[in-house]
Amino acid sequence: MNKHTPDLKAEKIEGGVHASVRHDSAHKHVAGSAVYIDDITEPAGTLHAGLGLSTVAHGTIRAIDLSAALAAPGVVDVLTHADIPGENDISPSGMHDDPVLAAGKVQFHGQPIFCVIAETREQARRAARLAKVDYEEMPADIDIWDLDAATHPQVFPPLTLKRGEAAVALESAPRRIKGRMRLGGQDHFYLEGQVSLAVPGEDDEVLVYCSTQGPSETQHMVAHALGVPSHAVTIEVRRMGGGFGGKETQANQCAALAAIAAKRLNRAVKLRLDRDEDMVATGKRHDFAIDYDIGFDDEGRIHAVDYTFALRAGFSADLSGPVGDRALFHCDNAYFFPHVHAKTALLRTNTVSNTAFRGFGGPQGMVGAERVIDEIAFATGKDPLDIRKLNFYDAMGVEGERNLTPYHQKVGDCIIQRIVAELEESADYAGRRKAIADFNAGSRIVKRGIALTPVKFGISFTKTESNQAGALVHVYTDGSVHMNHGGTEMGQGLHLKVAQVVAEEFQIDLDRVKITATTTAKVPNTSPTAASSGADLNGMAAQDAARQIKNRLIDFAAESHQVPRDQVVFLPNRVRIGNSEMAFNDLVRKAYVARVQLSAAGFYKTPKIHWDRSKGRGHAFYYYAYGAACSEVSVDTLTGEYVVERTDILHDAGRSLNRTIDIGQVEGGFIQGMGWLTTEELWWDGKGRLRTHAPSTYKIPLASDRPKIFNVALTDWSEAYEPTIHRSKAVGEPPLPLGLSVLHALSDAVASVADHSICPRLDAPATPERVLMAIERLRAEKRG
């Protein structure tokens, strides 16, 4: 081996794809030096905004007296809907039902009516409390539990999925069960709340630093509110302190108000909500009432299902339509239904308009699927895991008939059987199941339960045009690389993964790639960072841009050295050209002198997908991500309190771009899903006031709530069925429904008080109070 033929297998760049590199901002997060919107140095003369919120859930506004607010110390201006120069609308659904500021009527308790602008944030917030609003109150619909899904007004046309003849199959099924489940919502509880800083420019221009997952949508909404073209508005975000879907549409209101005030007063304006305001005034995960009718046989094989998923939409459409759609797309989870009929009901209520949340309805659909499994298991007296395995879709490579979803897409990549089998063995499910039975037989007060639940999660936006992304890559003459793309960073490591893709393409060390803030001035018409598609879309777009530049460099090197193109090979931090080598930066410098373009805009659109909502058919997802979790709990049957003793997870991330980042996403997703299904309870009183509006009343999981034993692993054999970026799979949303294993372990523990003879029908969130009520109900049924 001479100097021109190194051992390429041993030589690698630092931080390319599949390398477990730490998050690029991890050290800044720990040190407190990461710059968020509220950390940006404010321009001289920056003003601050405070919101005036409705104190009734439904009513007309008879009069508003703003005199005391205007006279308060430091107040510069007060905005109402009449001061909005453009459209008073921030509706993402096109329904024009979501105003920037309430006009003439209020539709939920906490709806913004006016906005005070003052010299300081404290002055603005205090002044907002001085205004007087006279309402004529009207009846309000708050809860969905007792609303008639068939007749109650809906915010958006519902969806129906149908395959086969569910009604006929239900009538002829050997066994049949009907039931209803209540499923609560969830607050995003991101560490950084909603915040925007707007800086006015010349003419109609404005720059808005905004904590948003959808820079382009925020750009468009601000432009509409100002009555200017989109090119006049620039949205920039370097990072968010968490999003979880709560900043996909909900960021638009703060951005619009800050921009309107900034242009009106020609001074920079910042609007930052505190935790209480944020929880009261912004949307959440939808809560559901799930009605199910299932037909099955004595073996536990499902014959037919009929579902109605009724959700609390809130006062406006927001994203309730597509959230409900995705719930139906996942009402099968990993199970084949021979005959299925499923429909949504998007119920209008006088509560804050609910919105995107990690999983976007998919987890709610899976809850319905797993409740069906529980019902069948208790009815047949079998282990729920056996019922799950009996009803799985056909495995990848099996040419059978059990592979068609309720929306008529063929499942061709199903690997849930192998994942469950491996987890069942590594977690010793059978051995622990027996040990738990023995423990419960000898324990009068504390009962244990165990459950192993699967996940099949579809990856793609069902809004077809959202499945596209752009990126911009510059190579400078010193060989350093500037990378920008349309995705946003909210702690999930997206920027790092895309930088790894670019580094891999050029075969340069990761520290030579600069990660820059997402801005609509560089990459236009971006899709929101949502639907777990951030790395899939933006990674491909950045790869495309890098390859354009790389191909130009190959052409230049081949021509200048008079060698064929295939003799130009990129090696770690250098390039081999025929029989010689030169450093990457030397090639770049020579290419610049030769006037080779060293910048490129990349683009990617997801192939194959299509969806016809009117027919309820299509290839809605590019591929599926899979996973499974096995959880064990201990329940105190006198109080309902419980502890998660152990959780084992095996998750499918394909050929992971960064296993360290992905394992962190799996861990965090599981904990967030567990919190949603156990402790995080949203409660509105009869007047429509959210009473769980702060950490004192709303319980997210603490570090002490994590499983005592927590084993998390990624598959080391899986790769994406389709040609995704380096055959990786999305890992943002799919892990969250793994938390279902905790809910069903609790159900298993509760069922033990009646010798597993009665389905506990445990609703979520399964708070200690709800667990205790379920225990008492089962004891009464057993006695009675």
Q: How many CB atoms are closer than 10 A to CB 389? A: 18
Rounded-to-integer distance, Cα 643 and Cα 738, Å: 17
Q: Angle CA(212)–CA(220)–CA(502) in degrees, nearest 5?
A: 55
Q: φ, ψ for residue 439 (rounded to 5)?
A: -60, -50
Catalytic (active site) residue 733: yes
Q: List 307's β-bridge partners, or say none.
A: 292, 342
Beta strands in 386-467 (DSSP E): 446-459
The helix/strand/coil state of 253 is helix
Encoding tokens for residue 78? 């007060």
Integer CA distances (angstroms), 652 to 619, 625, 720, 756, in order:
21, 6, 9, 32
Q: For residue 191, give the nearest of 275, 251, 285 by alpha carbon.
A: 275
In the numeric block, the tokens 């949203």 are attached to 682
Query: By three-state DSSP, how is residue 774 classified?
Result: helix
Half-sphere exposure of 12 (CA within 13 A, CB side): 10
Q: Which amino acid is at 587?
A: L
| Catalytic entry in 559, 733, 769, 776 | 733
- The widest CA-to-CA distance across the chain, in whole angstroms, is 92
**Amino acid of residue 647:** T
Kind and range of the H or E run holding 200: strand 195-200
Q: Are 764 and 676 in contact (CB under 8 A)?
A: yes
18: helix, coil or strand?
Answer: coil
Amino acid at 724: T
On whether the CB atoms of residues 245 and 326 are closer than 8 A, the answer is: no
Q: CA distances (Å), 481 to each of 475, 476, 600, in order?
A: 5, 6, 12
CA–CA separation, 650 vs 696, rounded Å?
34
333: alpha, beta or left? (left if phi > 0; alpha if psi -120 to 50): left
Residue 406 makes CB contacts below 8 A (sequence gap 6+) with 161, 162, 163, 328, 329, 331, 332, 337, 340, 342
DSSP state of 700: P
Point out the residues that are catalytic.
733
